[in-house]
Amino acid sequence: MDSIVVIDIEATCWKKLPPEGEQSEIIEIGVCLFDFAAGEPSAKRSILVKPTRSKVSTYCTKLTTLTQAQVETGTTFEDACNQLESDYLTRERVWASWGGYDQRMFHAQCDSFVTRYPFSQKHVNLKALYADLNKLPKQIGLARAVKTSELVLDGTHHRGDDDAWNAARVLGSMLRQHGDAVLEPFRQSAE
């Protein structure tokens, strides 16, 4: 295993319930590779996805900085999934995200849009791994994990590419502190 694909998505959201007829859907896929040889992330990218079943709310813009006008320039969800497969080999590589939300959202949206799931079944929940390795009583958010790892948050929190990058940086910190063996179960499943 040469690298892990680290993913972070942003989706349409509302302060309370979605408006009638709308549903949460992915509007940004942040992606980068964690390169084991270098011990750091590379190939950071943001893939904007044009929503078809919802609009970007004012609340969503405040949280993510993404606007409806920005995501209107995005690609289709199916094309975004194809880009992940072709550019990052996501069906072959182990992939990771901060928590299980990204994995659940991709499964749900792929089912809803009748689109092929773009990832392997080899997923690392970095949030759970971080809590386990650091013997925390509960899982913590990415921004707090960056801080407790003695790193500085790069970019804008709640933007997919920046959050994927920061999650990969925390992964690097975990590996330096606890060794590569923490990923051995995932490496074995990838071969």
CATH code for the domain in which residue 46 is found: 3.30.420.10
Residue written as token pair 């970019």: 155
Residue 73 falls within a domain, yes or no? yes
Q: Which two tokens stand for residue 143?
A: 């921004």
Residue 11 falls within a domain, yes or no? yes
Long-range CB pairs of 125-129, under 8 A, 24+ apart, other chains included: 125/96, 125/97, 125/99, 125/100, 126/6, 126/96, 126/97, 126/98, 126/99, 126/167, 126/170, 126/171, 126/174, 127/98, 127/99, 127/100, 128/99, 128/100, 129/174, 129/182
Residue 92 falls within a domain, yes or no? yes
Domain containing residue 120 = 3-181
Residue 188 falls within a domain, yes or no? no
Task: Please say whether the beta carbons of 66 and 28 come within 8 A.
Answer: yes
Residue 189 falls within a domain, yes or no? no
Per-residue pLDDT of the chain (191 residues; tens, 9 = 90+): 789 999 999 999 999 999 999 999 999 999 999 998 899 999 999 999 999 999 999 999 999 999 999 999 999 999 999 999 999 999 999 999 999 999 999 999 999 999 999 999 999 999 999 999 999 999 999 999 999 999 999 999 999 999 999 999 999 999 999 988 888 777 655 44
**Total domains, the chain:** 1
pTM of this structure: 0.95
